[in-house]
Amino acid sequence: MRKIDLRSDTVTQPTERMRELMRQAPVGDDVYQEDPTVNKLEAEAAALVGKEAALFVSSGTMGNLLALMSHTQPGEEVILEADSHIYCYEVGGISRIAGLIPRPITGLGGIFTSKQLKQALRPENIHYPRTTLLCLENTHNRSGGQVLPQDQVVELAEAARNAGLKLHLDGARIFNAAVASNTPVQILTAPFDSVMFCLSKGLAAPVGSILAGSTNFIARARKFRKMLGGGMRQAGILAAAGLESLDVMTKRLAEDHRRAERLAEGLSAVPGLKVANPVHTNIVMLDITCPELTAACLVSAWAEAGIITAANSKYGMRLVTHYQITDEDVEYVIEATRTIIQQMS
């Protein structure tokens, strides 16, 4: 049976070229910083996002947690958007491990205004925690992969710096943002002291993310990585796939965006369905408008047709395109969905 997995771009399999590069990769002990392939990946990644240094980590969650720990001290306050991945989906590590107090601000499309930031900043008072860090996310997952408006990012960053805050970017899909906005990735990352991006989502590497920032910041993060058990040995086998992600997979993301747009267009024409987000990149947020039909029912019917999805609410689903989703797959999903809805009506 045909299998079309739209749950996430994390389900991508490494390409054949990646597998061959992994087999051939020269390796060493990365804890001693002696793995030549990891060192090459970190250097290229840092240059790509315009930072002095970078660190190869096992996941985006680890990268974000290391940034939180490296920019702050326990007991301090971190400002982030209320629907951010760090706040919603990283198991409370911001508090449990980093010892920080999150201060969420409700935004629109993943970003709030400089006015909202200024209103949230506490005056100097012996009773209040010290606020030291602002985190943003681009693209914004819970807003359906929307790209943050760069002019608003710059304005918010200026307000944060004037308040003495450091800035971290959860750029898990920052290359999607760069492609969709036709903006060099260095421009998008420039306002931030640090940035994390994932190699294992739309870039198809099997494992890994990058944390980038100043040389001193990365030295501090490297030590925290070791504390968390993230010190890797012959990790060049994994880093080799990451180099291919940077060299090749970043250049084909527009295909995923085009397919997501077509998927949204086709599904929105099916009675009882509504696309809930502007489709900027590779994520489609789909709502069911027919109260008799739940997301769980549609997910089950899709599964019988070989379409793998997941519900994120009683009447909502997230569909994500990636390099293993073809034009033919998209058309199949649209037609199969039309048939399924007709049969359920």
- pLDDT digits over 18-39, tens only? 999 999 999 999 999 999 999 9
- Residue 303 CA to chain centroid, in angstroms? 26
The single-letter code of the amino acid at 90 is E
Predicted confidence at residue 183, as pLDDT, reads 98
Predicted confidence at residue 291, as pLDDT, reads 82
Residue 17 in tokens: 């070229």
Q: Is the pLDDT of residue 345 over 80?
A: no
The angle, 0 to 180 degrees and rounded to 10, between the axes of the packed helices 60-71 and 215-227 is: 120
- pLDDT digits over 185-213, tens only? 999 999 999 999 999 999 999 999 999 99
pLDDT band at 1 (very low <50, low <70, confident <90, very high): confident
Q: In whole angstroms, what is the distance from residue 123 CA to residue 121 CA?
A: 7
Inter-residue contact 171 to 188 (CB < 8 Å): yes
Predicted confidence at residue 292, as pLDDT, reads 84
Average pLDDT over residues 242-259: 98
- pLDDT digits over 37-72, tens only? 999 999 999 999 999 999 999 999 999 999 999 999
Cβ contacts of 53 within 8 Å, gap of 6 or more: 42, 46, 212, 213, 214, 215, 217, 218, 219
Inter-residue contact 309 to 299 (CB < 8 Å): yes
pLDDT band at 218 (very low <50, low <70, confident <90, very high): very high
Predicted confidence at residue 299, as pLDDT, reads 97
Predicted confidence at residue 301, as pLDDT, reads 96
Residues in the chain, total:
345
Residue 255, CA distances (Å) to 37, 142, 279, 281, 324 in order: 29, 21, 13, 10, 11
Helix ranges (DSSP H) in the chain: 16-24, 36-48, 60-71, 85-89, 93-96, 114-120, 150-162, 174-181, 185-189, 215-227, 236-247, 253-268, 295-304, 327-344
Inter-residue contact 278 to 144 (CB < 8 Å): yes
Residue 271, CA distances (Å) to 20, 306, 342 in order: 46, 21, 9
Q: What is the mean pLDDT of the chain?
A: 97
Average pLDDT over residues 98-103: 98
Predicted confidence at residue 18, as pLDDT, reads 98
Q: Which part of the chain is CATH 3.40.640.10?
A: 12-250
Number of C-beta neighbours around residue 65 at 10 A = 27
Residue 27 in tokens: 């390796």
Predicted confidence at residue 344, as pLDDT, reads 83
Terminal C-alpha separation, the chain: 25
Looking at CATH, the fold of the domain delimited by 12-250 is given as Aspartate Aminotransferase; domain 2 (3.40.640)
Predicted confidence at residue 290, as pLDDT, reads 87
Domain 4-9+252-344 has CATH 3.20.20.190: no
Phi, psi of 280 (to 5 degrees): -85, -35
Q: Which part of the chain is CATH 3.90.1150.10?
A: 4-9+252-344
